[in-house]
Structure formats: structure tokens, C-alpha cells
Amino acid sequence: VSSVITESIFNDLLKHRNDAGCKAKGFYSYDAFIAAANAFPGFGTTGDLTSQKRELAAFFGQTSHETTGGWPTAPDGPYAWGYCFKEEQGNPPGEYCQASSQWPCASGKRYYGRGPVQISWNYNYGPAGKAVGFDGINNPDIVANDATVSFKTAVWFWMTEQSPKPSCHNVMAGGWGPSGSDTAAGRAAGYGVVTNIINGGLECGKGSDSRQEDRIGFYKRYCDILGVSYGSNLDCNSQKPFGFAAQSQPRLIKTVV
């Protein structure tokens, strides 16, 4: 991954992450990203160079939307302001705790969005911690206090299939193709399916949506920096969300804007 995302490119992608107005100033480091990337074989290293660059542009595009501090007239444009936040903004509702025998919530702990992908809910912190190597139930705060752990939760989510959804990695690395039911639902390989995986119940199948347009804006900027074409099917305007019966269930992540 470091051969594609050099430290110079990392700083260009996330140009304003350390500005005074960004609450995550000084948190998201290049070394932490590379350490997390190297912990997941295949991430950003699968397929030809075009596939690798698109996957990394997609990863940063989606996570930048989740952590953006940009606004329409921001210096260098709104898509130069990813990774301004490491914790969910506003007043997160409740504790994000769902009754679970496997991942019972710890007293006094809150499972609101943290890190690049803004992981939330106890039933996500538990598995993420088990996979990455921390106690997600009793120490969710580490995701906002340890940059390497924080990046690892984001890459873990990116690489992990959650049926009936494919993993974001498989979509961008070319390992996923639409089934007959996917085709009937308008889903085709491309960046739009990644948005569908992350927040399809709220953003997809409804025509143009400002949130997914923001995701696309980041992705295009990052592709331009990496010198790679965007590919097809960037939006999910006409895609039905995955798993209709699951739409009423709490989503994995919460956007900060």
C-alpha cells in the first residue's frame, strides 16, 4: 500500500486534516494508516494497479465523507477536508446499545461513531475488537485514542462481508459480480455499490442524494490525485438497498454531517 499511498500523497489526500478547526488535528497519521493497512492482506494490493488505486481512492472517499469538515466554499474545495473528526459530532442519541448475549453492553460505556468509518453499536464494536485485538465492549474509547486501532477498525469493516452484502474490498477489487437478484435490484459493480453497502437504506434507490454525491466528490478527487479513471456505476440512485428486511435494523456507521 505504501507504494501507492506515499506519505506525500496521504498528506495531499487529507490536506486539511490537521487544521486548527479540525477536532481530530494531529490524530490520523500516515504511519498509523500503513500499520493498519499492512494488518489486512489484500487491502489495496489486489489486482492490477488500476484496481489497487481505485480501491484506495474508494476507501478514503467513503471514510472522508464520514469524517468531513468541509463546506461548499471551503479552501481547496469541500473534498480536501476529510478526516477532520474522529468522533461522531452533535449529540449522539443514547448509548447505541442493543440487547445482546454475545456482546452485552458494559456499564457506562457508549458505542457511538468513532474512527474513519465511524463504527457504532455494541454488536459492531465487539466483533471489530475481536478481529483487531482490543476489548471493543469495555474499551470502545480506544478507537478515538489510538490512531492505529482507529484505522484498523475502518479497514476491518472494509474487508469484512456482512451477508447479504459483499465486502467493500471485494466490490472495488473486482471479486464481486452481481447475481440475478442484484441485477434485478439495479446493483452493478462500482463505487455506487460500496455506498449501498455502507448506507444504502438511507441514500440509495431515491435518485440523486446529497450525501452520496459528497461520497462521489471525494472519490473523484482522490482518483485524480492517484491518476486513475473513476470506473463505472459511481452512484446508487437506481439501486435498491441490500436486504430489505434488514432496513429497519440499526446501521453500522453514522455520518458526522
| pLDDT for res 249 | 37
| pLDDT for res 95 | 79
Catalytic residue among 55, 66, 88, 203: 66
Let me know if 55 is a catalytic residue: no
Kindly report each contact of residues 74-81 with a partner whose C-beta sits within 8 Å and lies 24 or more positions away, as own/partner.
Answer: 74/16, 75/16, 76/15, 76/16, 77/221, 78/214, 78/217, 79/217, 79/218, 79/220, 79/221, 80/15, 80/16, 80/221, 81/15, 81/16, 81/17, 81/19, 81/22
CATH of domain 7-86+153-226: 1.10.530.10
| pLDDT for res 22 | 97
| pLDDT for res 245 | 42
Closest CA to 5 of 24, 26, 32: 32
Model confidence, pTM: 0.93
Helices (H), 81-234: 122-132, 147-159, 168-172, 180-184, 191-203, 210-226
| Rounded Cα–Cα distance for residues 178 and 123 (Å) | 28
Residue 149: Cβ-neighbour burial (10 angstroms; 0-12, 13-18, 19+): buried
| Rounded Cα–Cα distance for residues 212 and 5 (Å) | 24
pLDDT per residue as tens, the chain (257 positions): 999 999 999 999 999 999 999 999 999 999 999 999 999 999 999 999 999 999 999 999 999 999 999 999 999 999 999 999 999 988 776 679 999 999 999 999 999 999 999 999 999 999 999 999 999 999 999 999 999 999 999 999 999 998 899 999 999 999 999 999 999 999 999 999 999 999 999 999 999 999 999 999 999 999 999 999 999 999 999 999 998 543 333 344 433 33
| pLDDT for res 90 | 82
